[in-house]
Amino acid sequence: MSDISDIKIIGIDKDRPPRIRKEAYIDLFFRLSQKCSVDWCEDFNALGRKIDPSPKIDKNKGECIETYVKNMTLIAQHLADVKALLRDCNEKHQAKIDEKARVLAASNASLQGGQEGEQYKLNQIIESLNFDD
Protein backbone atom coordinates (compact mmCIF):
# COMPACT_ATOMS: atom_id res chain seq x y z
CA MET A 1 0.00 0.00 0.00
CA SER A 2 1.23 3.52 -0.74
CA ASP A 3 1.95 6.11 1.88
CA ILE A 4 -1.01 7.16 4.02
CA SER A 5 -0.56 10.79 2.95
CA ASP A 6 -1.13 9.71 -0.67
CA ILE A 7 -4.80 8.75 -0.10
CA LYS A 8 -6.97 11.03 -2.22
CA ILE A 9 -10.35 11.11 -3.90
CA ILE A 10 -9.79 10.33 -7.57
CA GLY A 11 -13.37 10.51 -8.83
CA ILE A 12 -16.84 9.01 -8.70
CA ASP A 13 -17.24 5.25 -8.46
CA LYS A 14 -18.11 4.23 -12.04
CA ASP A 15 -20.20 1.31 -10.78
CA ARG A 16 -22.35 3.61 -8.63
CA PRO A 17 -22.95 6.96 -10.38
CA PRO A 18 -24.87 9.70 -8.55
CA ARG A 19 -28.61 9.17 -8.53
CA ILE A 20 -31.50 11.22 -7.22
CA ARG A 21 -33.50 9.05 -4.87
CA LYS A 22 -37.21 9.29 -4.30
CA GLU A 23 -36.55 10.99 -0.95
CA ALA A 24 -34.76 13.88 -2.74
CA TYR A 25 -31.29 12.73 -1.74
CA ILE A 26 -28.38 12.30 -4.09
CA ASP A 27 -26.09 9.40 -3.21
CA LEU A 28 -22.39 10.00 -3.87
CA PHE A 29 -19.64 7.39 -3.96
CA PHE A 30 -16.17 8.92 -4.13
CA ARG A 31 -13.48 6.47 -5.30
CA LEU A 32 -10.19 6.58 -3.37
CA SER A 33 -6.72 6.40 -4.86
CA GLN A 34 -5.93 3.20 -2.96
CA LYS A 35 -7.54 0.55 -0.80
CA CYS A 36 -7.37 1.69 2.82
CA SER A 37 -6.70 -0.35 5.93
CA VAL A 38 -9.45 -1.17 8.40
CA ASP A 39 -7.96 1.08 11.07
CA TRP A 40 -7.64 4.00 8.63
CA CYS A 41 -11.31 3.52 7.66
CA GLU A 42 -12.33 3.48 11.33
CA ASP A 43 -10.41 6.71 11.90
CA PHE A 44 -12.08 8.29 8.88
CA ASN A 45 -15.55 7.19 9.97
CA ALA A 46 -14.99 8.63 13.45
CA LEU A 47 -13.82 11.96 11.99
CA GLY A 48 -16.69 11.89 9.48
CA ARG A 49 -19.16 12.51 12.29
CA LYS A 50 -17.86 16.10 12.41
CA ILE A 51 -19.70 17.08 9.23
CA ASP A 52 -23.28 16.72 8.08
CA PRO A 53 -24.10 14.65 6.19
CA SER A 54 -21.51 12.27 7.60
CA PRO A 55 -19.47 10.41 4.99
CA LYS A 56 -18.40 6.86 5.71
CA ILE A 57 -16.25 4.08 4.32
CA ASP A 58 -17.09 0.39 4.40
CA LYS A 59 -14.08 -0.76 6.43
CA ASN A 60 -14.21 -4.21 4.86
CA LYS A 61 -13.79 -2.77 1.37
CA GLY A 62 -11.90 0.48 2.02
CA GLU A 63 -12.24 1.76 -1.53
CA CYS A 64 -15.01 4.40 -1.61
CA ILE A 65 -16.35 7.16 0.56
CA GLU A 66 -20.13 6.89 0.69
CA THR A 67 -22.16 10.01 1.35
CA TYR A 68 -25.12 12.02 0.10
CA VAL A 69 -26.43 15.54 -0.31
CA LYS A 70 -29.99 16.83 -0.26
CA ASN A 71 -29.54 19.17 -3.21
CA MET A 72 -27.24 18.98 -6.23
CA THR A 73 -26.01 22.54 -5.63
CA LEU A 74 -24.38 21.25 -2.42
CA ILE A 75 -22.17 18.64 -4.12
CA ALA A 76 -19.09 20.85 -4.71
CA GLN A 77 -19.06 22.18 -1.14
CA HIS A 78 -19.63 18.71 0.33
CA LEU A 79 -16.74 17.34 -1.75
CA ALA A 80 -14.49 20.13 -0.41
CA ASP A 81 -15.55 19.25 3.15
CA VAL A 82 -14.89 15.54 2.59
CA LYS A 83 -11.46 16.30 1.07
CA ALA A 84 -10.55 18.38 4.13
CA LEU A 85 -11.70 15.51 6.35
CA LEU A 86 -9.60 13.09 4.29
CA ARG A 87 -6.47 15.24 4.70
CA ASP A 88 -7.11 15.49 8.45
CA CYS A 89 -7.54 11.72 8.67
CA ASN A 90 -4.32 11.11 6.74
CA GLU A 91 -2.39 13.39 9.13
CA LYS A 92 -3.92 11.92 12.30
CA HIS A 93 -3.46 8.35 11.12
CA GLN A 94 0.18 8.98 10.15
CA ALA A 95 0.78 10.54 13.58
CA LYS A 96 -0.72 7.44 15.19
CA ILE A 97 1.59 5.19 13.14
CA ASP A 98 4.60 7.35 14.04
CA GLU A 99 3.71 7.21 17.74
CA LYS A 100 3.35 3.40 17.66
CA ALA A 101 6.77 3.16 16.00
CA ARG A 102 8.29 5.49 18.61
CA VAL A 103 6.81 3.47 21.48
CA LEU A 104 8.02 0.22 19.93
CA ALA A 105 11.53 1.62 19.44
CA ALA A 106 11.61 2.84 23.04
CA SER A 107 10.39 -0.54 24.25
CA ASN A 108 13.02 -2.37 22.21
CA ALA A 109 15.71 -0.03 23.51
CA SER A 110 14.67 -0.67 27.11
CA LEU A 111 14.79 -4.42 26.49
CA GLN A 112 18.40 -4.09 25.35
CA GLY A 113 19.20 -2.03 28.43
CA GLY A 114 22.65 -1.26 29.74
CA GLN A 115 24.70 -3.66 31.80
CA GLU A 116 22.80 -2.63 34.87
CA GLY A 117 19.37 -3.21 36.22
CA GLU A 118 16.87 -6.00 36.35
CA GLN A 119 16.07 -5.98 32.62
CA TYR A 120 19.72 -6.63 31.79
CA LYS A 121 19.81 -9.54 34.21
CA LEU A 122 16.62 -10.96 32.70
CA ASN A 123 18.00 -10.60 29.17
CA GLN A 124 21.16 -12.45 30.22
CA ILE A 125 19.17 -15.32 31.71
CA ILE A 126 16.99 -15.62 28.60
CA GLU A 127 20.05 -15.62 26.34
CA SER A 128 21.68 -18.37 28.38
CA LEU A 129 18.71 -20.74 28.22
CA ASN A 130 19.38 -23.99 26.40
CA PHE A 131 16.44 -25.30 24.40
CA ASP A 132 18.35 -28.22 22.87
CA ASP A 133 17.49 -31.59 24.39
The answer to whether residue 19 sits within a structural domain is: yes
Band the pLDDT of 105: cuts 50, 70, 90: confident
Q: Which residues contact 68 (CB under 8 A, 6 or more apart)?
A: 25, 26, 27, 28, 53
Say whether pLDDT at 2 is over 50.
no
What is the rounded average pLDDT of the residues 64-84?
95
Residue 122, domain member (yes or no): no
Residue 47 belongs to domain spanning: 4-91
Residue 109 has pLDDT above 80, yes or no: no
115 vs 77, more confident: 77
pLDDT at 23 over 90: no
The arithmetic mean of pLDDT across residues 20-48, rounded, is: 92
Report the CATH number at residue 11: 3.30.1360
Give the residues across from 64 on adjacent strands.
31
> In this structure, is residue 106 part of a structural domain?
no
Is residue 100 pLDDT above 90, yes or no?
no
Domain count, the chain: 1
pTM of the entire structure? Answer: 0.75
pLDDT at 1 over 50: no
pLDDT, mean of residues 98-119 = 73
CB atoms within 10 A of CB 25: 14
Contact 52, 85 (CB under 8 A): no
Q: Does a structural domain hold residue 42? A: yes
Q: Is the residue at 76 inside a domain?
A: yes
Residue 10 lies in a domain: yes
